C-alpha cells in the first residue's frame, strides 16, 4: 500500500508539474515566449526543416527580421536564412551588424537572449547586454582540422566572441574566460544556458580552436546535443 500511495503521489506531482510547464513535454508546440523546457532545444533544432513555422514563431514572439534570398554554392548554402533587425522583442544588436543566419539559429539566439544572457548580465553586472560581438555566421568552409563541412556552411552557426554591456563594459571570451571573477562566471553561465537551446555549444573548454569564442549551432541531429 505504501508503494502504491508513493506512486500515486509521484504521478500527481508529475501532472501538476507538466500542467504548469508544457514546455517540458515533447509533443507540445514550441513557443519562443515560454521559458526553456526539457525539449525546447530539440524543438528549436527541428525548425531547420520547417521554415514557415520558424518565421511564424519569430513573428508571434515580436522578433523583427528580414528574409534573405537563398544561396546555393556547391554543397554549401541555405534556403531559410533571416537577418535579425533592430527593435521589437529583441534588444541586443550585433557587431558586425546584420548577420544572416538560419531561421532556427535566430529563434534559439532570441530565446538565449531572453532566458539566459540578459538575466545573467543583470545578476553579474547590474546592466543589460547591448551588443553581441561575433566572428560570423555563413561561411562555406570545413571544420578546422577536418574535411567535413562546418555548420557555418549552411548558416546554422554563429561564433560569439564577446558582449558589450549597456554601460559600455566589455566581456570577451579570449580575455575573460579564465579566472573566477564576475566576467568568467558570466561567460560560463551563458555557455551552460546555451546548451539547452543549441544543438552544439563549444567553448574554450573544448579545444584551442575555440579559445576566443562560443560556437553555437543548430545542426539537426534528432535530439542529440553537444555541450563543452
Looking at the whole model, is its pTM more than 0.75? yes
> Is a pLDDT exceeding 60 seen at residue 14?
no
Q: What angle do CA 45, 49, 52 make, to 5 degrees?
A: 105
In Å, what is the CA distance from 195 to each residue of 16, 40, 140, 188, 214? 26, 11, 24, 11, 11
Instruction: Cite the DSSP H helix spans in 21-144.
Output: 40-46, 51-60, 103-112, 118-125
> Is a pLDDT exceeding 90 seen at residue 1?
no
**% of the chain surpassing 90 pLDDT:** 84
Beta strands in 175-221 (DSSP E): 200-202, 214-217
> Is a pLDDT exceeding 50 seen at residue 8?
no
Q: How does pLDDT run across 37-80, given as a tens digit for each residue?
A: 999 999 999 999 899 999 999 999 999 999 999 999 999 999 99
Amino acid at each position: 500500500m505504501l508503494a502504491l500511495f508513493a506512486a500515486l503521489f509521484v504521478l500527481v506531482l508529475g501532472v501538476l508539474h507538466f500542467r504548469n510547464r508544457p514546455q517540458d513535454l515533447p509533443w507540445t508546440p514550441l513557443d519562443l515566449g515560454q521559458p526553456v523546457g526539457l525539449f525546447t532545444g530539440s524543438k528549436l533544432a527541428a525548425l531547420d526543416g520547417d521554415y514557415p513555422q520558424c518565421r511564424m514563431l519569430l513573428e508571434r514572439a515580436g522578433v523583427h527580421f528580414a528574409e534573405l534570398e537563398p544561396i546555393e554554392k556547391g554543397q554549401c548554402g541555405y534556403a531559410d536564412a533571416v537577418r535579425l533587425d533592430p527593435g521589437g522583442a529583441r534588444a541586443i544588436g550585433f557587431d558586425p551588424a546584420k548577420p544572416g543566419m538560419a531561421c532556427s539559429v535566430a529563434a534559439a539566439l532570441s530565446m538565449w537572449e531572453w532566458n539566459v544572457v540578459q538575466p545573467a548580465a543583470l545578476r553579474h553586472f547590474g546592466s543589460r547586454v547591448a551588443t553581441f560581438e561575433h566572428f560570423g555566421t555563413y561561411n562555406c568552409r570545413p571544420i578546422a582540422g577536418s574535411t567535413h563541412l562546418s555548420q557555418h556552411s549552411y548558416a546554422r552557426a554563429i561564433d560569439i566572441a564577446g558582449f558589450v554591456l549597456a554601460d559600455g563594459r566589455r566581456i570577451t571570451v579570449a580575455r575573460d574566460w579564465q579566472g573566477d571573477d564576475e566576467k568568467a562566471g558570466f561567460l560560463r553561465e551563458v555557455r551552460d544556458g546555451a546548451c539547452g537551446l543549441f544543438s552544439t555549444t563549444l567553448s574554450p573548454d573544448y579545444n584551442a580552436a575555440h579559445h576566443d569564442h562560443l560556437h553555437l549551432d543548430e545542426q539537426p541531429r534528432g535530439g542529440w546535443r553537444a555541450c563543452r
